[in-house]
């Protein structure tokens, strides 16, 4: 069963505009959420995280929003840049585990000129 879902396999956004990547989860025991960015043939790179006690966390151009009641989180990138083109993974940690992450299947973001 897919406990972390990224229902949009791809997204295309114009440079300078906002990119919004979405993630839904089903496990109410998840208490920490992370976004990773991945280029081809490389490992995932940590971007930003949020704990379940918050509803927003911001770091430069990246903001993550968490809606616990809807079991939904989103990553906003403003403004989008061509270098942001990559696959973005949402990941979640279960409160019952030390640090094991459950990942979504990823959304490929393409930022066009």
Distance between CA atoms of residues 75 and 56, nearest Å: 10
Residues within window 2-41 making contact with other proteins, judged by CB under 8 A: 4, 31-32, 34, 36, 41
Q: Using an 8 Å Cβ cutoff, are 105 and 8 in contact?
A: no
Alpha helices in 17-91 (DSSP H): none
- Which of the stretches 12-20, 59-67, 78-86, 90-98 binds other proteins when contact is defined by CB under 8 A? 90-98
Contacts of 77 (CB under 8 A, 6+ apart): 18, 19, 20, 21, 61, 62, 84, 109
Please, what is the minimum distance in Å from the beta carbon of residue 14 to other proteins?
A: 26
- Should residue 102 be labelled a site residue for other proteins when binding is judged by CB under 8 A? yes
Please, what is the minimum distance in Å from the beta carbon of residue 101 to other proteins?
A: 6
What are the residues binding other proteins (CB under 8 A)? 4, 31-32, 34, 36, 41-46, 49, 51, 89, 91, 93, 97-106
């Amino acid at each position: 069963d897919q406990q972390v879902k990224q229902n949009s396999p791809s997204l295309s956004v114009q440079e300078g505009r906002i990119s919004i990547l979405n993630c839904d989860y089903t496990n109410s025991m998840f208490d920490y959420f992370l976004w990773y960015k991945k280029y081809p043939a490389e490992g995932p790179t940590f971007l930003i995280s949020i704990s379940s006690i918050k509803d927003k966390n911001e770091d430069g151009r990246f903001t993550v929003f968490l809606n616990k009641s809807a079991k939904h989180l989103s990553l906003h990138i403003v403004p989008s840049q061509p270098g942001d083109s990559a696959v973005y993974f949402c990941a979640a940690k279960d409160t019952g585990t030390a640090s094991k992450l459950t990942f979504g299947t990823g959304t490929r973001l393409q930022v066009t000129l």
